[in-house]
């Protein structure tokens, strides 16, 4: 296993993401035997970091993780959990919710704790005086119930930079979606650079983009097999990340024993990507994109009479075109009405300035439509609101 030194700890570079445990078809509940087996294998292979969150698997991930870890000494592994500020039904007793997570994880402290899913929209909740989240979480840290504080992030690079500037010295690591597709599709490269510039560690979620980079289309997979017929598609996604020196943790949401075995093989026999392999991955990523080739150069921004953040809107557009999800929509939810794609008046100045020849007004019009008609975070969050109310005995 490869390890990284982080504040005096040796963290396995492969972390176990606990958001995708499979259900036992017979009971419809999490297959705990399989979780135990995967954990035993991972731990014997050197994995020492386990990442869960209050809402994962409808609140059952924390319990399943704790069950699988209970036979191991508490100081032999690290647990990461998250505060669900983005899923709250309104202001709640934050400390009661935090303590509930501790109880479900069968522990009295978290080694790592994150504000879950900061975006342009959720940041307003996290920073609101009424919700009082950050002061309460900092109090838990002062009391020693949190050893290391970070946040997971799905917003744009500008917000990341502003947020890190505002909280200089508060957070120690940032978890972002990063893989060889999102390196350019979601501007993960810029986010990696911003976090690194702030002297913090980069934690990675979705290294295989929800499994899509683990099972590539046949033609793409064949290009990788030409390098090594034994290597899995997923191994290339991990090797891409392992080549980035400030990535301290790579979380893989494993749900099959075979995945654990394959990942251990990759992390035990790491081989840097050759130039040819790297170019092939970049090429495969380009082929997967279905949106516009925006390079984020920002030449178009100065002339926009509506002062829209065009590169940001186009990165959301590309995300929608790749796979529309509630998270894509959430990236627009926090914007003021006059900054949404629907505010574009179609003057075309941006397209004249664009070296890539992108028809920006057409893309923004399409984005406005996809946003209006696509999956809504508000709908996805409703069941979470009810679950939190029930857990906290709220009316």
Site for ligand SF4 in 185-244 (CB under 6 A): none
| Span interacting with ligand SF4, options 26-34, 123-131, 190-198, 303-311, rule CB under 6 A | 303-311
Contact with ligand SF4 (CB under 6 A) among 256, 290, 348, 383: 348
311 binds ligand SF4 (CB under 6 A): yes
Answer yes or no whether residue 308 interacts with ligand SF4 by CB under 6 A: yes
DSSP secondary structure string, 310-360?
HHHHHHHHHHHHHH--HHHHHHHHTS-GGGSGGG-----HHHHH-TT---H
Range in contact with ligand SF4 (rule: CB under 6 A) among 40-48, 142-150, 261-269, 308-316: 308-316
Segment interacting with ligand SF4, rule: CB under 6 A, options 14-22, 250-258, 347-355, 369-377: 347-355
Phi, psi (rounded to 5 degrees) for 222: -65, -35
Q: Residues near 368 by Cβ (< 8 Å), separated by ≥ 6? A: 340, 341, 342, 344
Residue 85 has what DSSP assignment? G
Q: Taking a C-beta distance cutoff of 8 angstroms, is the pair 41, 47 a contact? A: no
Options 89, 334, 361, 374; binder of ligand SF4; rule CB under 6 A = 361
Please check whether residue 164 is in contact with residue 190, taking contact to mean a CB–CB distance below 8 angstroms. Answer: no
CB atoms within 10 A of CB 9: 15
Q: Which of 144, 219, 305, 373 binds ligand SF4 (CB under 6 A)?
A: 305
Exactly one of 356, 376, 380, 385 binds ligand SF4 (CB under 6 A); that residue is 356
Strand positions, DSSP E, 22-140:
49-51, 78-83, 110-118
Q: Which is nearer to ligand SF4, 81 or 120 (CB)?
A: 120
- For position 349 contacting ligand SF4 by CB under 6 A, the verdict is yes
Q: Does 344 bind ligand SF4 (CB under 6 A)?
A: yes
What is d(CA 361, CA 354) in angstroms, rounded to the nearest whole number?
12
Calpha distance 394→230 (Å, rounded): 54
- Candidate segments 30-38, 126-134, 158-166, 345-353, binder of ligand SF4 by CB under 6 A: 345-353
- Residue among 140 and 344 whose Cβ is closer to ligand SF4: 344
Cβ–Cβ < 8 Å for 333, 119: yes
Tell me which residue of 381, 390, 383, 384 sits closest to 96, measured CA to CA: 390
Of the chain, the end-to-end C-alpha distance in Å amounts to 48
Contacts with ligand SF4 by CB under 6 A: the residue count is: 29
Residue of the chain from 125, 188, 294, 370 that contacts ligand SF4 (CB under 6 A): 294
380 sits near ligand SF4 (criterion: CB under 6 A): no
CA R_g for the chain = 21
Using the structure block, give the residue that is written with the tokens 């020492």. Answer: 48
Closest contact distance (angstroms) between CB of 64 and ligand SF4 is: 43
Question: Which window, 26-34, 275-283, 305-313, 365-373, contacts ligand SF4 (CB under 6 A)?
Answer: 305-313
Residue 32 binding ligand SF4, by CB under 6 A: no
Q: Say which DSSP state 309 is in.
A: -
Kindly indicate which of the ranges 13-21, 85-93, 223-231, 360-368 contains the residues binding ligand SF4, using the contact rule CB under 6 A: 360-368
Instruction: State the residues that interact with ligand SF4 by CB under 6 A.
Output: 294-300, 303-306, 308, 310-311, 314, 344-350, 353-354, 356, 358, 360-361, 364
């Amino acid at each position: 296993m490869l390890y990284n030194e982080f504040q005096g700890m040796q963290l396995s570079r492969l972390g176990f993401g606990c958001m995708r445990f499979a259900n036992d078809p017979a009971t419809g509940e999490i297959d705990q035997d399989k979780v135990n087996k995967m954990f035993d294998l991972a731990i014997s292979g050197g994995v020492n970091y386990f990442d869960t969150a209050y809402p994962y698997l409808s609140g059952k991930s924390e319990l399943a993780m704790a069950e699988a870890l209970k036979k191991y000494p508490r100081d032999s592994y690290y647990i990461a959990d998250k505060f669900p500020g983005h899923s709250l039904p309104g202001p709640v007793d934050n400390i009661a919710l935090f303590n509930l997570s501790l109880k479900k994880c069968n522990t009295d402290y978290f080694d790592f704790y994150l504000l879950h899913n900061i975006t342009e929209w959720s940041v307003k909740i996290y920073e609101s005086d009424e919700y009082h989240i950050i002061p309460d979480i900092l109090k838990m840290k002062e009391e020693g119930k949190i050893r290391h504080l970070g946040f997971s992030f799905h917003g744009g690079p500008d917000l990341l930079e502003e947020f890190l500037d505002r909280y200089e010295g508060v957070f120690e690591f940032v978890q972002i979606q990063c893989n060889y597709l999102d390196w350019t599709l979601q501007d993960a490269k810029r986010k990696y650079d911003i976090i690194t510039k702030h002297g913090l560690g980069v934690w990675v979620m979705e290294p295989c983009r929800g499994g899509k980079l683990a099972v590539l289309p046949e033609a793409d997979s064949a290009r990788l097999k030409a390098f090594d017929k034994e290597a899995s598609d997923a191994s290339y996604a991990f090797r891409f990340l392992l080549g980035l020196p400030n990535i301290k943790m790579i979380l893989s949401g494993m749900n099959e024993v075979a995945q654990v075995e394959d990942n251990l093989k990759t992390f035990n026999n790491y081989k840097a990507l050759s130039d040819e392999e790297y170019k092939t991955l970049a090429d495969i990523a380009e082929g997967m994109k279905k949106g516009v080739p925006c390079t984020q150069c920002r030449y178009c921004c100065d002339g926009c009479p509506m002062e829209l953040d065009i590169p940001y809107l186009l990165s959301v557009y590309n995300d929608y075109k790749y796979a529309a999800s509630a998270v894509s929509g959430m990236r627009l939810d926090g914007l003021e009405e006059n900054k949404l794609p629907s505010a574009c008046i179609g003057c075309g100045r941006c397209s004249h300035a664009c070296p890539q020849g992108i028809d920006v007004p057409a893309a923004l019009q399409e984005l406005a439509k996809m946003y209006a008609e696509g999956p809504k975070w508000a709908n996805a969050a409703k069941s979470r609101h009810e679950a939190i109310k029930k857990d906290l005995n709220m009316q």
